[in-house]
Structure 1
Amino acid sequence: MNSLNIRVINKKDWAIYKELRLLSLQDSPNSFGSTYEHEIKFSKEEWLSRLDPDNQSKYALPLIAELNGMAIGLTWGVLHSSSDKTAHVYQMWISPSVRGQGVGRLLLQKIITWAKEFDLDYVSLAVSTINVAAVNLYQTTGFEPYGALKSLREDSVLSVQPMRFKL
């Protein structure tokens, strides 16, 4: 890869975040708990609110991957409380044009490193069982299935498999 950069995003990046999030929901509608139809209705204030540290968990790591200045990937690491021993991965998405080139693994490594700084026990996520490429990425990164399958969304027949990485 030429010039790949992974960085934390904040309120000034709201438009980039909105664009990536909506792209992810359109590209991979069977991979997320939310839908494009739901989030396209969000106001600018809602997008800003998601990236406002005063409105989110104090332990959030919203990341984007950029290749030659173009945003190509997104994920969030979240620690729900200071007493929690597990970090959670949400909104993981990589542009189809760069899938399979290691961007997802680099994003996961950033979250794993961040979780180690908090001296946590695990990093967890849930992956759609039909997304074979994502399941493979998580398994080859060291995530293992745990727990029962869950419904992707209340109205969905699709399932997600909880997975976790032992730190």
Structure 2
Amino acid sequence: MVISIRPAEPNEWRTYRDVRLQALLDSPNAFGSTYEAEVGRTDALWAARMAAAASSGQDRALFACDGDRVCGLVWCKLSPDEPMVANIYQMWVDPASRGTGAGRALLGEAIAWAEAAGARRVCLGVTAADTPAMRLYLAFGFRSAGSAEPLREGSFLMVQPMSLTLGSAS
């Protein structure tokens, strides 16, 4: 299996929507949002989200692909408040493609995009547990960046903020 990574194009909003909803169903404890919160969004909202990301220069949605099949997603966004900081969201790989290097490739490409966009630090939150996601982030050099916080209101799960310093400062 050869995994490739490519930017999600604005006209692929249906694919983005489907992968995002699949991720929320598959891994509900990995995301701040929920399937219930996002499934009711209109097609126009999904399309607008992708169009805004493509035109902003501040966002990059990436797909992992196994051939023509999209098997993973990550969203990287430059912070509006701290332009030298990029945040990673929505990182997910389809269960059938886990263990193929798709997560490593997605994360590597997101970090490369952030660095090329001028970021000096990449931040993310990950469920605070010994999971494949946590091990992946640690392997890339991410380190704890503060106290764990609840995943979302009413959740017993905790999210560990993590950050990675980029460039010559690392």
Coarse TM-score class (shorter-chain normalised): over 0.9
Residue in 2 that maps onto 1:70: 69
Letter matched to residue 88 of structure 1: N
Unaligned 5+ segments in structure 1 are: none
Hey, what does 1:113 align to over in structure 2? 112
**Structure 1 position 99, deviation (Å):** 1.1
The 3-state SS of whatever aligns with 2:118 is: coil
Shift of 1:119: 2.9
Find the counterpart in structure 2 of residue 40 from structure 1. 39
Q: Deviations over 1:19-53 (max 9, x none)?
A: 10000000000010110111110110111011012
Distance across 2 between alignment mates of 1:62 and 1:145: 24
Q: Which residue of 2 aligns with 1:166?
A: 165
Q: Are 2:98 and 1:99 equivalent residues in the alignment?
A: yes
CA–CA distance in structure 2, aligned partners of residues 29 and 139 of structure 1: 22
In the alignment, is the contact (CA less than 8 A) between 1:151 and 1:160 conserved in 2? yes
Amino acid at match of 1:120: A
CA RMSD for the aligned pairs? 1.8
1:9 is matched with which residue? 8
CA distance in 2, matches of 1:108, 1:64: 11
Which structure dedicates a bigger proportion of its chain to helix? 2
Which stretch of the first structure deviates more once superposed, 46-55 or 104-113?
46-55
Letter in 1 for 2:90: Q
**Deviant stretches of 4+, over 3 Å:** 54-58
Instruction: Give SS of 1:119's match.
Output: coil
Determine helix, strand or coil for the equivalent of 1:34. Answer: coil
Distance 1:154 1:38 in 2: 13
Task: Return 5+ residue gaps in structure 2 as ranges.
Answer: none
Report the Cα distance in structure 2 between the residues aligned to 1:14 and 1:54, rounded to whole angstroms: 11
Task: Return closer, same or farther for 1:55/1:166 CA change in 2, 3 Å cut-off.
Answer: closer
Q: In the TM superposition, what whole-angstrom CA distance separates every residue of 1:44-68 from its partner, at most 9, and x where no partner exists? A: 0111011012797531000111101
Q: Which moved more, 1:55-64 or 1:129-138?
A: 55-64
Does the Cα contact within 8 Å between 1:57 and 1:81 map onto a contact in 2? no
Give the residue type in structure 2 aligned to 1:123: V
Per the TM alignment, residue 82 of structure 1 is displaced from its structure 2 partner at its CA by 8.0
Contact 2:72 2:92 in 1 (8 A): yes
CA distance in 1, matches of 2:53, 2:17: 19
Q: How many equivalent pairs are there? A: 166
3-state DSSP class of the match of 1:138? helix
Q: Do residues 136 (structure 1) and 135 (structure 2) align?
A: yes
Q: CA deviation at 1:120?
A: 2.1
Q: Kindly indicate whether the alpha-carbon contact (under 8 Å) linking 2:72 and 2:94 is maintained by their aligned counterparts in 1.
A: yes
Aligned letter for 2:147?
A
